[in-house]
Structure 1
Amino acid sequence: MIIVTATITAKPTKRDEIISKSQDLIKSTRLEPGCISYDLYASIEDENVLIMLEKWENREVLDVHMKTEHFKMFGTVIEEFVAKEISIVIYSAEKV
């Protein structure tokens, strides 16, 4: 299993727009083969920071996800609402 964090920093007053636009992405992604979980969380330290926390069976299914229309569309739709580039970090779920 792998874990992915995608940190999204909204422009001031645009956080709710991103949350709203993410709902279709979340719904569609959860139906993808290999998706274990896919959830959006808000920072308690900075109201403009959101994190998508994802769990996938393996890197191959994640790569397929990143080529889907709903994934690409989300990036395009929120582009005007983000303050900086989305940070994506991929982790091995194996304990170290």
Structure 2
Amino acid sequence: MLIVAGKGYVDPQHREALLTSLEASLRQTRAEPGCLDYVVAADPVEPGRVNVYERWESKEHLAAHLAAMARPAQPTPAVLGMEITQYEIAASSPFQI
């Protein structure tokens, strides 16, 4: 399993426009084979920050998704910077509080 997580920054006044512009691609990605979760969401503390979280069954599924993303996308507000990390997960189990 892979987790891709991180953050991106946009001008705070354009954050909602960015999130709205991504909605269709989020829905499409969640329906792709191997996608277990895919979220880009507004950060509750920093006005210009969006948080990214993806969970994939395998590297191959993620690679297929990234290859499909090579097609031209609709224009969105400019992303000012991103910090994204990929994690390879060997095992997982439910977390109980």
Give TM class, smaller chain: 0.7 to 0.9
- Which residue of structure 1 lines up, in the alignment, with residue 86 of structure 2? 90
Question: C-alpha separation between the residues in 2 aligned to 1:34 and 1:62?
Answer: 8
Contact 2:15 2:42 in 1 (8 A): no
User: What's the CA shift for 1:94?
Assistant: 3.1
Contact 2:19 2:41 in 1 (8 A): no
Q: Which runs of 4+ in 1 moved over 6 A?
A: none
Contact 1:17 1:81 in 2 (8 A): no
TM-score by length of 2: 0.79
Between structure 1 and structure 2, the one with the greater Rg is 2
Q: Once the two structures are superposed, what CA deviation does each residue of 1:32-55 show, in whole Å capped at 9, x if it has no partner?
A: 100011112222220211112110
The 3-state SS of whatever aligns with 1:54 is strand
RMSD value over aligned CA atoms? Answer: 2.1
TM-score by length of 1: 0.80
Identity of aligned residues (%): 24
Question: C-alpha separation between the residues in 2 aligned to 1:37 and 1:70?
Answer: 20
**Structure richer in strand, relative to its length:** 2
Contact 1:25 1:70 in 2 (8 A): no
